[in-house]
Amino acid sequence: MRDRRFVAEHRGGPLNREDHRLLAGWAADCAGRVLPLFERCSRDPRPRQALETARAWARGEVKTGAAMKASVAAHAAARQVEDRAAVAAARAMAQAVATAHFADHCMGGLLYALKALEESGGEAPREMEDQLVKLPPRLRGMVSDGVQARMRLVRGR
């Protein structure tokens, strides 16, 4: 079940358009940190295009349909590489741009970025803290709660 706090106002939820767009931009920033991990393995432009589309959606420049197409394309790019860090990095871009469709995908942008960092030997716990503090307090709690809940599910706790 999805967390109602991430449901946009136009769908009957409490999340206003400004905060939805802010979450999309934040997710793009999280994902963008690991784009080089994909690009060191592949010249496929789809993850970078997804990242650019996520940022454009956050600025109100593209429609949600374009964002969803970019998400599908970035996931397809992830399936075409074998390096685990590159796969996770492409999925981070795909999730970040999918935030346009449903705001809780913003957490996937962060979580896949953390996975990409872990796969490449990076500092995932520090990165999570660094990214969460970039959110305004009104959004930080719900995103942090959601990230922690998803991490517990993955770890089986």
2 belongs to a structural domain: no
Query: Does any domain span residue 50?
Result: yes
CA dist., res. 96 & res. 144, Å (int): 16
Average pLDDT for residues 121-143, to the nearest whole number? 94
CA-angle at 139, arms to 22 and 27, nearest 5° = 45
Average pLDDT over every residue of 19-32: 98
Report the C-alpha gap between 91 and 40 in whole angstroms.
15
**Residue 125 located in a structural domain:** yes
User: In terms of C-beta density within 10 A (0-12 exposed, 13-18 middle, 19 or more buried), how is residue 81 classed?
Assistant: middle
* Residue 3 within a domain: no
pLDDT at 156: 63
Total domains in the chain come to 1
Domain that includes residue 74, residue range: 12-155
Instruction: List pLDDT tens digits, range 71-119.
Output: 999 999 999 999 999 999 999 999 999 999 999 999 999 999 999 999 9
- Please choose, from the candidates 100, 121, 114, 123, the residue with its C-alpha nearest in 3D space to the C-alpha of residue 51: 100
151 domain-assigned: yes
Q: How far apart are CA 79 and CA 73, in angstroms?
A: 10
Judge whether residue 154 has pLDDT over 80. no
pLDDT at residue 157 tops 60: no
Strand partners, 155: none
Q: Residue 5 falls within a domain, yes or no?
A: no
CA dihedral of 49, 114, 82, 76, whole degrees rounded to 10: -40
Residue 150 in domain: yes
Question: Residue 78's Cα: distance from chain center in Å?
Answer: 14
- Asked, for residue 4, whether it belongs to a domain, the answer is no
Return the residue matching tokens 């996770």: 88
Any bridge partners for residue 115, and if so which? none
